Every structure is written in structure tokens, then in C-alpha cells.
Structure 1
Amino acid sequence: MNTLASTRSLAIFVGPVRSLRAASVLARDQAKSSISEENKAFDEIPRPNKFQFMRAFMPGGEFQNASITEYTTAMRKRYGDIYILPGMFGRKDWVTTFSTKDIEVVFRNEGIWPHRESLDSIVYFRKHVRPDVYGEIVGLVAAQGDAWGKLRSALNPIFMQPRGLRMYYEPLSNINNEFIERIKEIRDPKTLEVPEDFTDEISRLVFESLSLVAFDRQMGMIRKNRDNPDALTLFQTSRDIFRLTFKLDFQPSMWKIVSTPTYRKMMRTLNDSLDVAQKLLKENQDALEKRRQAGEKINSNSMLQRLMEIDPKVAVIMSLDTLFAGVDATATLLSAVLLCLSKHQEKQARLREELLRIMPTKDALLNEEIMKDMPYLRAVIKETLRYYPNGLGTMRTCQNDEILSGYRVPKGTTVLLGSNVLMQDSTYYPRPDEFLPERWLRDPETGKNMQASPFTFLPFGFGPRMCIGKRVVDLEMETTVAKLIRNFHVEFNRDASRPFRTMFVMEPAIAFPFKFTDVEQ
């Protein structure tokens, strides 16, 4: 970890720490002053018993094939805005809350080093199965406390500052141009609909774009090299890890007690992805060294090269986590944007008007200057995140004793914050069943943006531990949607009453054979 404690990293870290520490102490004192004997005991929080919980997910149970959102929403109707999600087989009880006041209390008192319940199966792999690779650096997913703080502070300038992404506009434009050609290849010449498995093509596009950031290379998965074995391994494992994590760390599982088939598959999957990532990064560095020796000037501003400067282990971890956290979630979001625009043609037409003003030709290469003037594009993406929430919410571990919905919740309790469900609640969003990108635009009379209800619109989390990949996702989504809607009229002529389900995150529940008609201009 010595490389993480560089002067540059510490300078970034120490200043915010001091101000955050003072704010944390004040928030903690305020929270303590609100605790009184009038509040109810933790044991009084409503909950299903453990047998009911386990039985509900077994074959024939009420929630055998239910998503986490369906389960928690059903429990909300049954118990109210706060209840206990029982822990089993080594996992602790989780408090689940849908109260904006509770969500604010937890976030305001999370301190300078927020603690989020780790994905235990991944943590176990990194600490106990492959410590030879990870050592003390287990990544943002697994790290806590001071170790997390130092790593996050070193990574923030790379991931969270827009200028670090400028170099990716042109290659992402080329990747999207290739995807447009792929659509033309595979769509039916008569109906102009793409095949039923189009979600696989979308996932390949997202994988190709994220690989550009994670590995400094294009894999060719869209058209040129679709059967590349290394790329296919990373592509498949990044998607499998998501589903296996849900089974091991969210649903009742005995993997901490006995070696289950799902646990063994997870360990193989994580090993396979790690081996390929190490191989690709070594090839990358060997090629760069040859170019340096040949006297070629190397651009060292890429995100990968900046990660390598921190520590090669950090580069391996973040490259894998970029794919693991990004491929399925971003691909599903792109499917949702296309679906929303397909079902609301007037919104698609308005977006295309904006794009035609900024992008005079279909194959225009995008850049920072072009992309900064697209308010309706950003409103469409933001409204899609509200209309089809990308998951239930996020988790935090209470750093102090807290009062949530009138119950005394002790320090160390994990709280599942169901903020994303509130984005479809009419209490907070007028006309929640309507797709209205305009709700995110400046009011033409007042010049002010609509203010979302506090602690209800948090698709990327909140505070120091919010999603570090937010800007990468923004860049990928904005460039792709801009290119597709500039080139095609998009339609969806199928039933879309229940197009998604939410397991660990939202995923497609139906096929998406969109109809793509060429834009004439």
C-alpha cells in the first residue's frame, strides 16, 4: 500500500478528511441528542421469521422466482416503511427502510469512511482464495475504513474528473459507428427489426466500450473479432458474477458453512476472469514497452496507465470491477432508454431535433464541445433512470447508534436504503407513471431546474462512497444514445408492460427486437 500513500494521494485525502471529520462529529452529536427512551427498541422492528423467509425462496414458495425489488416491495406493503430482512447462514439481519428521513439520517452520519456491506463471496475470493494477487489491496468493493479511504482518494482524480475522459470521445464514436453497421447487418430487410437476442449485441457494445477504458484496447467483439476467446471469457464472466453474487450474498445460501455448487462456480468464474485480465494487462504493458524502446511517444493519460502508476494490482482490480459493475447494468440502462424513446415517439422526435442541430452528419465524431450542449439528451437518460430504477437502492452500516422511524438501531447494523423505489412514488414525483424528460429541464419562466425530493433520486448512491464509475457510465450512455437516435428512428412493436425485473440490479425480462429505420438526413 506504500504506493497509495504518495504525497499526491495524501494531499487529495487529508484536506477533505478534516472538514468531513468535523461535520461527522457534529452530525453524530445531533443524532445522539435525538435518542430518548420514547423510541422503540430494535427488536420491535417488524420482521418475517427466518423460517418464513427461507421458505419463501424455496421451490413452491411465495418468492421463488421473485426479484429483490418485488420481495422488498411486498414486504413494504406488509410491514410498512421499515422492517427487518432476516439474515441466515452467516449473514446478519439487515434493516430495510423506504423513509427519506431514515435515508438522510444514515447518509448524514456515515462519517469520512462510509462502511457498506461487502459482497462477501467476492471478498472471500480476494482475501482467501487469491491473496497472491490481491494482497492488501482488495479493491473498493471489499475495502473498509482507512484502507478504503486511501484507495478511493487515489482513484477519485482518475474516475471522477471529466477531463480524464476527453481522450475517449473519438474512439467511442468509432465503436458506436461500428455498432450502427452491425445493426444494419442483422436487422430483417423487410421488417427492419433486429433479432430476438439483440440484448446480447447491446451487451457486446457496452463491453467493447468499457474495455477501451479498462484495458486500453478494443476487443473487436461487435463485428471484427466476435469469437476472441479472451474477450469472450471476460464478457461472459463479468455477466455471470452479477447473477452468482445475488444467489450467494442476497438470497439464503449455505456457502459459508458448506461448499455449494453455486459457490464453486463463483470461485471458478472469478479465477477465470482474473487470469485473463492479468494476461491482457501484461500484453498491454509489453507492447507499450516495445513502443517506448522504438522511440515512439506514448500517451500516458489513459485511465489504465494512471492506474498502473498507482499500483499494477490496482489496475487489475479496477479493470475487472469496471466490467463486473458496468457491463450488465449499463447494457440494461441502454435497453431501457431505447424502450422509453420507442414508446414515446414525441420525446424521441424532440431529442432528434436537438441532435440534428449539434451533429450535422450521421457519422460525426463526438467531442467534448459537441456533447456539452445536449440538455434534452441528459434529461432523457435521467428520466429513464427514474422510470426504470436500476436497482433497489444501496446499503450502509451504521457508524453510530441511530434512530430510524422511531426505532433504536445500534451501531454496526446494516441498513438497506430503498431510495430507488421512491422514484416511482407519487408522493415525491408527480405523474410518476409518465415518461417526462421535461421534468429535469430548466423551467422556461423561472430558469430553475426541477428539484427532486431530497434522498429519492440516488441512482449512483450518495456521499464519499457513491459509485466511482458514474462519469464513465454517463460518457458511454450519452455518446451511444446520441449516435443511435441521430442515425435511426427506433420503434418497439411488442408488449412492454413488464420489460424488466430487478435481481441484484435491473435486467431484461423480455426480448428487445427493436425496429431501426434509417434517418434520411
Structure 2
Amino acid sequence: MEQSAETIQNAVLVWTLTVLKFIQHGIMQILNFFTFMFGNADGTNKESDKSDKPKLKSVKQIPGPAPLPIFGTTLTSPALKMTNLLKANEGRWKEFGPIVKEEHLWGFPMIHLLDADHIEYASKMIGNFRPGMEILTTYRSNHPDRYDSIGLTNAQGEEWEMLHGALSPLITNLNFIKSIAPAAAEMTADFKDLIKESGPYIEDVQSLVRKFAAESSFYNVFGRRMGFMFNEVPTNMQEFLHTHDRLWRAVHQSSYGFPWWKYFPTSLWNQNAKSESLLLDMMENMIQTSIKEDSTHEGLLGGLLDVKDVSYKTKRLLALETILGSGDSVISALTFALYWISRDKRVSNKLYEELKTILPTKDSELNYDELQKLPYLKACITESYRMSNPAPNIMRLVEQPLELGGYLIPAYSLLILQWGFAVMQEDSFYKPKEFLPERWIYEGNEPRFQPHRRSLMHPFGYGKRSCPGKRIVTLYVHVLLARIFRNFEVTGSCPLEPKYEWLIQPGNVLPLTFRERSDDE
């Protein structure tokens, strides 16, 4: 009985502490944003009262869905429940206009910019602070035995500068990019064989693209092939992909609804923790294998391990994040480019004619320098980014008060620049709903079609916080598309719906038909 009573007392104590923690968190959040939300009596600053300029409206007055106490608009915003981001933003604009305020938990404002002029102006004013993935940040911060850092994507300030300084010089180095081009060409040849084995009609092209993306992302780090493009993928590599999927779903789901995982060990938290731990263990095993085999010099890993003043645990995490980030970007970019080009016979035939000038035969060697001689291929990829970009918005915390559209946006507000929506409007691009690669073929310094607001395009992010691996992703996308459309006539008619889960990903399978071309065509 004494043991039972003690157990009950402990349970009550745990419950009481949890409730107190919950209340404390809520009070702190409310206090943090009380001044932010209400400020002075009129919601503006004193300086604006003294000037002759029109009185600026406060952030409270920005239109948007009606918020609820504690939950903000997480339960009342139709847009937050949609997976098609373009349609969600169309709804925001139609109901509320070019600037829309939604609220996260505890009333934290999220300000969506939908107008091209506002986006162009704000992009010049925003800093380098952006929100991270909170569930990852929390887990990594709570496990100092395994992490010295929360990772490049989540870090801010000096920590981010340190991580960026360790990885960026390696991954953006032109000599490194050129060094992986032969391996990229080898992988594209294997991909061509996969198409022949699976085709001519392939019901789920994305499943093949995923093999290529995984193979290329691991090669970047380890400098060797891992077997993703074999008929029988190694068991440990299959496990890595499945674990990555589980982690990504947990991270996405943690961003919506009330974060019960902060207060209780929910199934979502357990899924994140187990996936994160398992991925790090697998990464450790692969790194140690490379060290034992003395093969670290083959990829980015060797350069990372040689970086001074950065701990081994941080280098390991950077290597893992490089694999996870580049793989997702390649999958999305390749799948959507295949979709858009295959839907338009005029475009695919024009691309084929250009490719024949550089690749006279289907198996002609394609090196890095020759890729620069394919302007129409580049135009097709850029246009695909405009139509279906993996990262169609930019999130930043403004570091100084910002006057925008008649409103005074306080410092440390979260701005979401919805450039993927803006580039689909008629005041931004000529015939914006049409896939038209020719818009990116300039006559001299001028585009062929107007309007043409190139400054809105940020396919890999903006400024210092842009994707450091964009050169690598660009290489793989160019090489694979060149090889595919030189070897095959690709056709398809099934719509491909976008799905927003941090990145824009294909929301359904993509069926395509690959008819092998002859060298005489």
C-alpha cells in the first residue's frame, strides 16, 4: 500500500509540474507578444505621430481570418488546412487582399505578402533570421550528448555563421561540382537503363526519380555509390529512406495544431525522436566505415572532417543534413520538370533538337562545360521552377520596424514572402499560367515577353540563407534531363497536383510513356 501511495504521489507530482509548465509557457508567450500586438494605444510608434506622413496602421489592423484565444488562426484559417499552396494563396488574396495576417499559437502573427511590389521591397529589407523546425530544435537541444548544434537549417546568428562557414565553401566550390560531373553522368546512364527495364509506360516515375536522388545525395557526401539504383536496394539504405520519410512527416505535422508534444511524450514526438536518433546512428556507421576504408577524401566528408574549430558531432550533423536536403530538392525539381516538358510536344521537340547539337549520339559524353551550351534546357528548368518550385515562399523575421502597404510591421515579425504566388500573376509575367520556356531566352539583355519580373524568382531561397547546395542540385537536374530527352520521347497527360509539406512535392504519382529514340531521328 505504501508503494502504491508513493506511486500515486509521484504521478500527481508529474502531472502538476506538467500543468505548471504548460501555464508558464502560455503566460510567457502572452507577455512576450502583448507589447508586440498592442504597443501604444493606437498601435503605431511615437515617431510616426510627430511626422506629417499619413498615419500608419498597426499590425492588428492587417486583415485576415478571425483568431481564437491561444490557438490563433490555426483552427480558423482555411488556407492553413490546404495542401495546394497556390490555391490557398488565391483564397487569401480574394478574401483579404495583398497583405494577410494569420496567427500561430499564442497570437504570434504570420504576415503573408502576396503582392509583387511588396515582395520585391521586403526582400531588400529582410535579414537572415528565419524560423526553424521547432520539434527538431527541441530534440537536438535536449540531447547534448549527441548534438553540439541544432543544425544549419535551424540555427541563427553566430551559430549559423559557424555552420555556414564550415559547409558552404566546400559545397559551392566549382572544382568540387566539376569533380562529381562524371559520376552524375554515370548515374544518368543507369537511370536510362531503369527506364528501359520498366517502360515504355511507367506508372510511377517519381519512384525512379527517388532512386536517382538518393544515389546522388549520398555520393555528394561519401564519394561512392550506395546501390539505390540497383534492382535490389541494400537493406540499410531502404531503412534510411523509410526513416527519413517518417521524420519528415513528423516535422511537418508538428507545425500545425496545438503542440502537445512539448508537454507530453506524444506519438508524434516519439516518431520524431526515434527517426532522428536512427538516422544519426546510421550516419555514424557510414562515416566510421569511410574512415576505416580511408575513402573520406572522395566526397564532401573529407573536407568536412578537416574543418577546424568545429566539433565532430556538428560535422556529422552537417553531413546528414546535406543528404536529406539535397535529396528532397532533386526529387521535386526533376519530377515537376519531367511533368511540364512532357506535356508540351513543341517544347520537348525543341529541346531534343538542341540536345542533338551537343550529344550527336544517344550515348555521347556530357561534361560540365558542355552543359553550359544548352540555353533551352536551362530555360525549361527555370520555367519549371516558376510553375512548381520546391520552395515557393521565403520566411524571415524582420530585424527592424518596416513600413509596408500602409502598415507598420514591428521588428521580429514573421514575414512570409509568397513569391511562388506572385510569379503566377499577370502583372508579373506574360501569360503566367502557360509553360513557356522562351520567356527565359533573352534578346540581348531584354526578355522576349513583357511583363517579366525576374527579381521575384527565388527558387533556392534568398540572400545568405539561400540553399548552399543549389549548384549541386542544378548539376544533377540538368544532366539527367539532358540524358532522358536525348534518348526518349516522353509523353504524359495525367495532371500532377502539388502538395505543400514544407517543400512543394508531387501530390500524386506521375505516369509517363518513354519511347526510345533512334540516332537517325
Query: 2: CA distance between counterparts of 1:354 and 1:177?
Result: 19
Q: Any idea what the Cα deviations from partners look like across 1:313-332, whole Å, max 9, x if unmatched?
A: 34322222223223233212
Tell me how far apart the structure 2 counterparts of residues 99 and 183 of structure 1 sit (CA, whole Å): 42
- Kindly tell me: are residues 377 and 276 of structure 1, through their superposed partners in 2, closer, same or farther at Cα, counting changes over 3 Å? same
Spell out the pairing of 1:97-108 with structure 2 (5 A cutoff).
97-108=113-124
Q: Partners in 1 of 2:79 and 2:401 — Cα distance?
A: 34
Alpha-carbon distance change, 250 to 319 in structure 1, aligned in 2, over 3 angstroms: farther
- Indicate the residue corresponding to 2:241 in structure 1: 235
CA distance in 2, matches of 1:67, 1:34: 43
Q: Which amino acid is 2:282 matched to?
A: V
Of residues 67, 73, 92, the one that matches 1:53 is: 73
Name the CA distance, whole Å, in 2 between partners of 1:258 and 1:317.
26
1:85 aligns with 2:102: yes
Instruction: Go from structure 1 to structure 2 and tell me whether the alpha carbon gap of 1:353 and 1:34 turns closer, same or farther (over 3 Å shift).
Output: farther
CA contact (8 A) 1:193 1:513 kept: yes
| 1:231-261 CA distance string (max 9 Å, x none) | 1122223333333222112455432233332
Matched, 1:305 2:302: yes
1:174-323 correspondence runs (5 A): 174-187=186-199, 192-194=200-202, 196-223=203-230, 225-226=232-233, 228-250=234-256, 252-288=258-294, 300=297, 302-310=299-307, 311=310, 312-323=312-323
Structure-2 change in CA distance of 1:399 and 1:119 (3 Å): same
Tell me how far apart the structure 2 counterparts of residues 308 and 91 of structure 1 sit (CA, whole Å): 43
The structural deviation recorded for 1:177 is: 0.8
SS state at 2:126 partner: coil
**Separation in 2 of the partners of 1:322 and 1:218?**
16
How does the TM-score come out when normalised to structure 1? 0.83
Q: Secondary structure at the match of 2:293?
A: helix
When Rg is computed on C-alpha atoms for both structures, the one with the higher figure is: 2
In the alignment, the residues of structure 1 paired with residue 366 and residue 153 of structure 2 have an alpha-carbon distance, to the nearest angstrom, of: 32
Matching residue of 2:135: 121
Mean CA deviation greater in 146-155 or 272-281: 146-155
Amino acid at match of 2:387: Y
In the alignment of these two chains, the number of paired residues is 464
Whole-angstrom CA distance in 2 between matches of 1:441 and 1:276 = 45
Q: Deviations over 1:366-410 (max 9, x none)?
A: 222221211111111000011223244010001111112211111
Instruction: Give the whole-Å Cα distance in 2 for the aligned partners of 1:147 and 1:63.
Output: 31
Alpha carbons of 1:35 and 1:397: their partners in 2 closer, same or farther (altered >3 Å)? farther
Indicate the residue corresponding to 1:151 in structure 2. Answer: 163
Q: 1:341 to 1:453 in 2, by over 3 A?
A: same
Find out whether 1:71 has 2:88 as its counterpart.
yes
Distance 1:375 1:134, change over 3 A: same
Correspondence for 1:295: none
Q: Give the counterpart letter for 1:145 in structure 2.
A: G
Contact 2:387/2:424 (<8 A) preserved: yes
SS in 2 for 1:482: helix
Q: Which residue of 1 aligns with 2:40?
A: none
TM-score scaled by structure 2? Answer: 0.83
User: Match for 2:132: what amino acid?
Assistant: S
Task: Check 1:167–1:330 CA distance in 2 against 1; reply closer, same or farther (3 A cut).
Answer: same
CA contact (8 A) 1:442 1:448 kept: yes
Classify 1:428/1:252 alpha carbon distance in 2 versus 1 (closer, same or farther; 3 Å): farther
Q: What residue in structure 2 maps to residue 505 of structure 1?
A: 503
Q: Find the residue that maps to 2:145 and give its secondary structure.
A: helix
1:383 aligns with 2:383: yes
Residue 112 of structure 2 is matched in structure 1 by 96
1:176 maps to amino acid? T
Structure 1 residues 378 and 252: alpha-carbon distance in aligned structure 2, compared to 1, 3 A threshold: farther
Contact 2:497/2:506 (8 A) holds in 1:
yes
Please name the residue that 1:359 is paired with: 359
Which amino acid is the alignment partner of residue 116 of structure 1?
R
Do the aligned partners of residues 53 and 109 (structure 1) sit closer, same or farther apart at CA in structure 2, a change above 3 Å counting? Answer: closer
Structure 1 stretches lacking a partner, 5+ long = 1-30, 292-297
Letter matched to residue 388 of structure 1: S
Q: Counterparts in 2 of 1:136-147, with a 5 A limit?
A: 137-147=149-159
Report the Cα distance in structure 2 between the residues aligned to 1:125 and 1:105, rounded to whole angstroms.
36
Cα 1:168/1:35, change in 2 over 3 Å:
farther
**Aligned residue number for residue 24 of structure 1:** none
- Supply the distance in 2 between the matched residues of 1:34 and 1:252 (Cα, whole angstroms): 42
Rounded to whole Å, the distance in 1 between the matches of 2:163 and 2:51 is 34
Q: Is contact 2:219-2:299 (8 Å) kept?
A: no
1:131 paired residue number: 144
Identity %: 23
Cα separation, partners in 2 of 1:437 and 1:67, compared to 1, 3 Å: closer
User: 3-state SS of the aligned residue for 1:118?
Assistant: coil
For 1:517, the equivalent position in structure 2 comes to 515
Quick one: distance in 1 between partners of 2:286 and 2:509?
33
Secondary structure of the structure 1 residue equivalent to 2:60? helix
- 1:67 shift after superposition: 4.0
Distance 2:52 2:166 in 1: 37
The residue type paired with residue 267 of structure 1 is A
Distance in 1 (CA, whole Å) between partners of 2:52 and 2:293 is 61
* Residues 255/103 of structure 1: CA separation in 2 closer, same or farther (3 Å cut): farther
